[in-house]
Amino acid sequence: MMTLFIETYTLILPRFDVTIANPDYHKIYAFLKGTPYWGRCPDFLVNGVWYEHEGFDETKDFSSHPKKRANTFSKMIMRGIKQSDRLIIEDCGVGYFFARRTLFNRVCCEKQNISEVYIRKSDGLELLYKKGEG
């Protein structure tokens, strides 16, 4: 039996309040120059690909408020795509089909650039959307 080992690396990136005027920002985020994300601070790199993580106030109880869950999900997507086209979204309890439909509308109808979206659940990441798949 042969085992395949793929080396991966993750780099957590700093957040700057002042970006463009900061020489450290230019050094760390040089790879964003010329992209729509220049002046932003995506959260981390995985094998040279940047991702944005979006969360919400987890102390709020959405169990009896499906509309609040939907709004929370939409706001996380809206904030995240300003930082990167690859997102990791905290699980706010929104349904799978609602989430997929929301992403479909953003990509197909609104022509937003979204490459990947993962939902972060208690047991790990679940791929929700990947450009070119389903």
Domain boundaries, the chain: 10-130
Global confidence as pTM = 0.84
Most confident of the following: 3-12, 67-76, 82-91 = 82-91
DSSP string, 57-91: -TTS--TT-HHHHHHHHHHHHHHHTTT-SEEEEE-
Q: Is the pLDDT of residue 2 over 80?
A: no
* Residues 90 and 99: beta-carbon distance below 8 Å: no
Q: Match domain 10-130 to its CATH number in 2.40.128, 1.20.120, 3.40.1350, 1.10.1060.
A: 3.40.1350
17 Cβ contact partners less than 8 Å away, ≥ 6 residues apart: none
Centre a 10 Å sphere on the Cβ of residue 104 and count the other Cβ atoms it contains: 13
pLDDT confidence tier of residue 57, bands split at 50, 70 and 90: confident
| pLDDT value for 62 | 64
The number of residues making up the chain comes to 134
